Every structure is written in structure tokens, then in C-alpha cells.
Amino acid sequence: MTKLSVNINKIATLRNARGGNVPNVVQFAKDCERFGADGITVHPRPDERHITLKDVYDLAPVVKTEFNIEGYPDARFMEIIRSVKPAQATLVPDPPHVITSNTGWDVTKNKQLLIDIVQEIQSYGVRVSLFLNPEIHQVHEAKLTGTNRIEFYTGPFAEHYAENKNIAVAPYVKAAKAAYDIALGINAGHDLSLQNLQFFKQSLIHLDEVSIGHAIISDALYYGIENVIQMYKRLLQ
């Protein structure tokens, strides 16, 4: 069964809008786990516009499932990984000023950097995943870095799903087969939702994990977070 990691960045965004500690990010993460989430994902950006450094260290001893920390592998991020030693570090190529991760690594151009970073993170006993576009040549390049997994950027799939879902998912199916054939684990994330997740999961039969935040938090406004987590998990069965 594909695991569901809940990205709680938006909970921190809501808290930061007012100040104080409501909603409580740590309690929300604990509740997500209690309601069935298989992991918790955070992306502690340098400007702390949502998840803060303090949040990361507060969450570290509390998360009992898989703690996944996303980010660009600069010195700050590497210190976080070295100190916290989460279950997984997901490396994204976007600079600090972008609103959200919106493309995968060009592994060819950044191969030596990624080789060095992957090796260092793995030395801490942390699994590594590289954020990728669904391109077969990038999948093969990713394998050469030594990464454990890749995470497909699913924004384009979600964007074109309503137009023609079979065409939208086709590059992911091909890239996922290439990854599976060379023993790379497969994660996915970005704009996956109640509308498109089941089809994506059925199309990528070897999908290890999805990381979903914006859609889950948005759906929770209507259905409640406990119900929503179960709704998403049913789509992944």
C-alpha cells in the first residue's frame, strides 16, 4: 500500500498569520498520525514563512511515523538533517524566494553536487529522495547519484488531468517503470487531490509514498482532518 505523508506547512502558515500558537503545529502532526497518516512532511524555508526552525526541532521527538524534511541542500538545511536525522530528506532544486516547489532537479547539471550531498545525508542514516520531473533520462541520472528514491513533481499531471487524464499520466508511467527497473523507490507530490489521486495511484503500481499538504488542508475545512486523512488513504489502497 502506498503511504500517505501529510505536509503540514499550511498549518504553520495559518498560525503565522495571527501569531501565537493557534493552530498548534506539533499537536496537529500528532493528530494526523493518530488519524492514520503514515508520515509528516515539512519544508523549513529560510524565511520561515510557514514551518520554522523551532517547529522542526519541536516535531523531531514527537513524530512517531516517518518524518520527511524537504528543502534545498544548502548549509542550513544540511545542519537540520545532521541534527534531526529524519527518516527521509527530500531534496528540491528551488531557491528560497519561490512560493512552492515547481520543477524537478536537472540532475545532469548538478550531478556532482547531488552525489556529495546524497552521500553525506546517507551517512547520517537518513533516506534520500530527489524531486524530479517525469523524464526517463533524469531518472537514470538520479540513480547515479546514489539516491534511495525519487519524488515525481506531479503539478503538470494535476494541471492537465481534467483535459485528458491518460495523456497527463503517461510520462509518469514511463518514468516510474524506468525507476522501478533500476531499483529506485518512487514517491510523488504536488497538487494531488481527492479528484486525481486514485487514478494516479492505479497508474503507478509501484508508488511507495505520496506527500500531500495543500489539498488535504483545504479539504479539511469542509470534511475535518480525521475524515480527510481516511478519504485519501482509501484512494491509495
Give the active site residue among 43, 66, 151, 209.
43
Known active-site residue 43? yes
* Domains, the chain, ordered by start: 3-235 (3.20.20.70)
210: phi then psi, degrees, rounded to nearest 5: -120, 145
- What's the confidence (pLDDT) of residue 100? 65
Known active-site residue 206? no
- What's the confidence (pLDDT) of residue 98? 66
- What's the confidence (pLDDT) of residue 102? 76
Query: Whose CA is closest to 30, among 232, 229, 201, 177?
Result: 229
Helix (H, G, I), strand (E, B) or coil at 28: helix
Known active-site residue 140? no
Q: Please list the rounded mean pLDDT of every run of 10 residues in the chain (237 residues).
A: 97 96 98 98 95 98 98 97 98 76 90 98 98 98 98 98 98 98 98 98 97 98 98 97
Alpha carbons 103 and 161: distance in angstroms, whole number: 18
Give the active site residue among 141, 151, 190, 209.
190
- What's the confidence (pLDDT) of residue 94? 80
- Can you list the alpha helix ranges (DSSP code H) found in the chain? 9-18, 25-34, 53-59, 75-84, 111-123, 136-145, 155-160, 165-181, 197-203, 214-223, 225-235
Whether residue 117 contacts residue 147, with contact meaning beta carbons closer than 8 Å, is answered with no
Sign, Cα dihedral of 85, 52, 32, 62: positive
- What's the confidence (pLDDT) of residue 97? 65
Whether residue 37 contacts residue 28, with contact meaning beta carbons closer than 8 Å, is answered with no
Whether residue 55 contacts residue 44, with contact meaning beta carbons closer than 8 Å, is answered with yes
Give the active site residue among 33, 50, 66, 70.
70
